[in-house]
Each structure stands twice: as C-alpha cells, then as structure tokens.
Amino acid sequence: MLKDKYLKEIKPELKKMLKTNIMAVPYLKKIVVNVGLSEALTEPKVLDRVGEQLKAITGQKPKLNKAKVSIASFKLRAGEVIGMMVTLREKRMYDFFEKLARIVLPRVRDFRGLKVSGFDGRGNYNLGLKEQTVFPEVEYDKIDKVRGLEITFVTNAQNDDTAKILLEKLGLPFEKRKK
C-alpha cells in the first residue's frame, strides 16, 4: 500500500534529501476531485449521472457546489448547483492516488508526463483531465457526454520544488525537461 511505502521508505528518504526535521517532511494532506456542470442549470438529471460517475471513480459521495453570487449574463442565480466535488483523505486518498498514477494516467491519449506548470506556488498541484472515460470504473455505455474533471493535490510543502519531489516519489510521472 502507498501509505506504508510513504512512511517506511519515502519519508526517511525525503528527510535526508531535504536535510530537515522528520516532522517538517512534506506529506499529502488531501486530494480534491472537482467537476464543473454548467449544463445542470438547464438539465437537472445531469447531477444524478455525474454524481454516480464521481462516486464510482472516487468511492465517495460527491458534494454539490452552489453558486455564491448571481451572474445575469450567464443566467445564473445564487444558490443554483454549478458543480460537484469530492475531498479524499487517508486511505481513500492513497488508493485514488495509486490508481491515478498506475492505471489512469497511462490510459490518457498522447501522455508524455504531467506538466510542471500545474503548481500554484504554495506546494499544491492541479491536474485537469479532458474526459472521465480514462477511469476504468466509468462504463462507456452509460456516458451521455464526455466531461472533464480537475484533480487538486494538497500538500503541506512550503514551495513547489519540495511538493514536486514528494509527488514524484509517490509515483506521479512528470514530464522530462528539455535541455
């Protein structure tokens, strides 16, 4: 299991590499999976279908995201559902991470590694997938429309470099820099 590997191998290795206290070694806090659903305003059945897909992908029931403010040009009122999200922690987080790194990312078409530009400057990494069909749990026959989803890896790392090292050690394949 990935958590055991982190505790036994990766954490001591990061402690040596970063020359820091064992309590200051970076770790993965949570993974947030988010889907934006602008079409839910006109077609409420979309929420059920996407909710089932997200539940199959993550193993956890999604939370509905509601609009905070009204935007007239988008015909959006405050309180209307515009997306869904799942926050994964502990065992589910590590299971999802392992599945993503080993099974899902290799299935992405023309995949050459994750872009380093997805870091936010505070040690968190954002990854966007264009279609949910790369997950093996999603049945292709039951999909009405191909939708993208966003995955955010939240770490306690202080900067992007240490977060990248942590995510690489855990198994995320980043693209090789051209010289």
- CATH number for the domain spanning 74: value is 3.30.1440.10
Q: Is residue 20 part of a domain?
A: no
The better pLDDT of the pair 177, 137 is held by 137
Please classify residue 142 by burial: count the beta carbons closer than 10 Å to its beta carbon, then call 0-12 exposed, 13-18 middle and 19+ buried.
exposed
**What is the average per-residue pLDDT within 32-54?**
78
Q: Is residue 3 part of a domain?
A: no
Q: Whole-structure pTM over 0.85, yes or no?
A: no
* SS3 (DSSP) at 12: helix
Q: Is residue 9 part of a domain?
A: no
Q: Is residue 43 part of a domain?
A: yes
Q: Is residue 49 part of a domain?
A: yes
Asked if residue 66 has pLDDT above 70, the reply is: yes
As a dihedral over the C-alpha atoms of residue 127, residue 61, residue 38, residue 152, rounded to 10 degrees, the angle is: -20
User: Confidence band (pLDDT; 50, 70, 90) for 179?
Assistant: very low
Q: Is residue 155 part of a domain?
A: yes
Q: Is residue 2 part of a domain?
A: no
Count of domains observed in the chain? 1
- Domain containing 160 equals 28-170
Asked if residue 55 has pLDDT above 80, the reply is: yes
Q: Is residue 12 part of a domain?
A: no
Chain-wide mean pLDDT for the chain?
Answer: 81
**What is the average per-residue pLDDT within 121-132?**
84
Structure tokens given for 78: 């405050």
User: E strands within the chain?
Assistant: 28-36, 63-66, 81-88, 125-129, 149-155
Per the CB < 8 A criterion, the answer to whether 22 and 117 are in contact is: no
